[in-house]
Amino acid sequence: MSNYLGIATVTATLQRMLQQSVQTDVEGARVTTSRPENTGELQKQELVFTSTI
């Protein structure tokens, strides 16, 4: 990732992959990629971070 376009591409790809997986398991779930402090929405949100090494 040499610039912001690389980061944006990876972020969008991860969002699409996660959204497809989540939709099959949790009806109405939505995967977003906005910063937690800039969501612009006043609703309950669950932030999930996982990592595998």
Q: In the prediction, which pLDDT does 16 show?
A: 92
Q: In the prediction, which pLDDT does 13 show?
A: 92
Question: pLDDT (tens digit, 0 to 9) for every residue of the chain, 53 residues total?
Answer: 578 888 889 889 999 998 888 888 888 888 888 766 655 665 565 666 554 54
Q: In the prediction, which pLDDT does 7 show?
A: 84
Q: In the prediction, which pLDDT does 26 show?
A: 81
Sequence-distant (≥ 6) Cβ neighbours of residue 22 within 8 angstroms: 29, 30, 31
Q: In the prediction, which pLDDT does 53 show?
A: 44
